[in-house]
Amino acid sequence: MTAFSERVAANILPLSQSQTLSVAFKEWAVTDGMIDHEQAIETCQLCDQEDLRYQYEIANRITRRRLWVGSSCILRFDVAVLEKGVLLSGKDRERKLNRLLTETRRRTCIASLERLAAAEKDERLIAALAYYRKHEHLTPKFAAMVLWRLSVAKIEHSPTFFKVCLRRDQHKRDLQTMRLQQVHTLWPALTSAQRQTAIALGHRPPPPPVLAPPAPPPSS
Ligand SMILES: [Zn+2]
């Protein structure tokens, strides 16, 4: 066994009934659990790969044990991916993992918007929530308002999960006439192409985050 498969075996066999790697994997399937950590900070519990941003949950149908793993391990080890009880194959497996990601982000956004709307009882927030539920994205005006209010209210949220629509001319005009501070508020939610559009409309990107200066050397 290679070092890689030894690590995988050491992680999965104690949680499986079969003690043969290829058979043990057949006991496992992807659940609908998925976490987008927004930054590459997690570890695959199967192969120990670090710097993972997305973790998917897999569960063993016999032992009921669970692991949080990267999508590449799911695809590499052919862990079962199901849709409404039907086993998927080929590209459909990847598509399903992508859908889980989209759905996770959508649910996270709705949960933070609901908390904000309940806390502030503001018509504009309720309208933004209804708009997001219907379209699964926000207009630039809604996005700037919502992201600002979420941070002021200190409600946990993930700015990069919100999608902003810039297709209509009206949306572009709204972005163009926005104050720079508002543009910077919605910046994390913009795709790289949308950021280029914002720059073409005359805005500047936000300054890079200021890093803390290094600690002075200990005095002797
Ligand atoms: Zn892995």
Choose among 219, 150, 152: nearest CA to 189.
150
Could you read off the pLDDT of 177-208 as tens digits, one per residue? 999 999 999 999 999 999 999 999 999 999 88
Note the pLDDT of residue 151.
93
Ligand 1 center from residue 45 Cα (angstroms):
7
Ligand 1 center from residue 6 Cα (angstroms):
12
Number of C-beta neighbours around residue 75 at 10 A: 13
Whether 220 shows a pLDDT value over 90: the answer reads no
Note the pLDDT of residue 38.
83
Q: Name the residue with higher pLDDT: 220 or 111.
A: 111
Choose among 46, 44, 70: nearest CA to 56.
70
Ligand 1 center from residue 54 Cα (angstroms):
11
Query: What confidence tier does 121 reach under pLDDT thresholds 50, 70, 90?
Result: confident
Mean of pLDDT over the chain: 93
Ligand 1 center from residue 188 Cα (angstroms):
28
Residue 171 identity (one-letter amino acid): H
The whole-angstrom separation of Cα 157 and Cα 154 is: 9
Whether 17 shows a pLDDT value over 70: the answer reads yes
Ligand 1 center from residue 148 Cα (angstroms):
37
Q: Name the residue with higher pLDDT: 43 or 121.
A: 43
Instruction: Note residues around ion ligand 1 (Cβ under 5 angstroms).
Output: 44, 46-47, 49, 70, 73
Q: Name the residue with higher pLDDT: 202 or 209.
A: 202
Note the pLDDT of residue 219.
62
Ligand 1 center from residue 68 Cα (angstroms):
9
Mean pLDDT, rounded, for 72-87 = 94
Q: What percent of the chain has pLDDT over 90?
A: 85
Residues facing residue 56 across a β-bridge: 34, 69
